Structures are given as C-alpha cells and as structure tokens.
Amino acid sequence: MSTAQDRNPGDPDARATVERTIRVDQAGEFGAVRIYEGQLAALRWTGRGKSEASRKIAAMARAEQTHNREFDRLLAARRVRPTILSPLWSVAGFALGAATALMGDKAAMACTVAIEETIDEHYAAQAAALGDDEAELRATIETFRAEEIAHKNEALASGAEQAPAYAALTGAIKAGSRLAIWLSSRV
C-alpha cells in the first residue's frame, strides 16, 4: 500500500500527507523541547535544579532535542515549509513548562503524561497513514513513539497522577496539544 492510496475526495494526496506529517512533527518536537526548557528553568529558579525530577526532565529533554534535530533535517531534505506558528509554540511551550514545574515536580510530570499520551495517539495515526513508499519516515515515527511512551511511563512512575487537579490539568494540556497539532499541520 502507498501513502494516501485509499484517500477520500478532499483528503490530502501523498505529498501533502508527508508534508503535513513532517511539518507537525517538527513543530511538536520543537514545542516539547521548549516545554522541557521551561520546566528546567523553573526548577533552577526554585532551587530544585539538581533534584531527581530535574535529572529525569533533562534526560527527556535530550531525547526531544534528538527528535527535533531529525525533523529539522527532514524539513530541509524534503523541502517542507515549517509551520508559521513556531514563534507561538516557542513561547507557549516554555510558559507551559515553567508553569507546571512551578506547580511542583508532580505537576511537571503530569504535563509530560498529557503531552506524551497525545503524541502516542498522534504518532500511531501517522504511522498507520504512511504507506510502504514512506517506510523510512514511518520507522522514524514509530521509534520516536516508543521513546515518547517511555517518557510517559517514567512520568507516571514519578508520581504524575498525584499532581494537584491531575485530571483537569492533563485534560487541559491534551486539548491544547490537539489544537496545536491540528493548527501546525495546516498553517
């Protein structure tokens, strides 16, 4: 099966599907880097820069930086226009990261759970939509998806569900993430 082979009228063709995939994933990984940068900054501001949570977040941030570099490379190699919303995602990501870390270590981990659960679903849908003609891109997405699931599991093991107003916090972050995905794939 090839990418966009079974598309309906009005659905993007194979090229547009790949462009949307790379555009939104680059934006998402950039946003994740900025969230972790905001969390690490807030942890330093509050004297928790050497805490266990800070070490875990720094490790997750390094993985997101690797993902972001790969999607930056794919943007250039495939000549895909990045989203024009990157400046907004830079500010919003940093602010979300700082705000959740200022709420406490468990809230920072709850943010990770919300983001990674949303990305898990998003990457699964993308991998399913890519055909054999995009096996390399699909493999990259599946590899990164596995790493995102590991981040979610690490955050859960670190007490994310004990964050104040966990359900409301993660629900709001997931809704914002889904909106950012939708906008970044198109704008």
pLDDT tens-place string over residues 63-111: 999 999 999 999 999 999 999 999 999 999 999 999 999 999 999 999 9
Kindly state the percentage of the chain with pLDDT values over 70: 94
Number of H helices, E strands in the chain: 6, 0
Whole-number Å distance between alpha carbons of 87 and 12: 26
> Could you give the CA distance from residue 150 to residue 184 in angstroms, rounded to a whole number?
24
User: Model confidence at 51, in pLDDT bands (50, 70, 90)?
Assistant: very high
Cβ atoms of 67 and 144 closer than 8 Å: yes
Query: Could you tell me the two tokens for 179?
Result: 């909106």
- Is pLDDT of 9 > 70? no
Please write down the HEC assignment for all residues of 81-101.
Answer: CCCCCHHHHHHHHHHHHHHHH
Amino acid at 80: V
**Both structure tokens of 135:** 């096996």
Asked whether 87 and 52 are in contact (CB, 8 A), the reply is no
Say how far apart CA 166 and CA 128 lie, in whole Å: 30
Q: State both tokens at 92.
A: 């919003």
Is the pLDDT at 176 greater than 70? The verdict is: yes
Total number of residues shown for the chain:
187
Q: Provide the percentage of residues in the chain whose pLDDT is more than 90.
A: 88
Pair 123, 115: CB distance under 8 Å? no
Integer Cα distance of 122 and 140 in angstroms = 14
- Give the type of residue at 91: V
Q: Can you give the pLDDT at residue 14?
A: 78
The tokens describing 44, both together, are 């330093």
The predicted structure's pLDDT at residue 180: 96
How many Å apart are CA 45 and CA 35, to the nearest integer? 15
**Does the structure show a pLDDT above 80 at 59?**
yes
- Is it the case that residue 7 has pLDDT exceeding 70? no
Residue 175 banded pLDDT, cuts 50, 70, 90 = very high
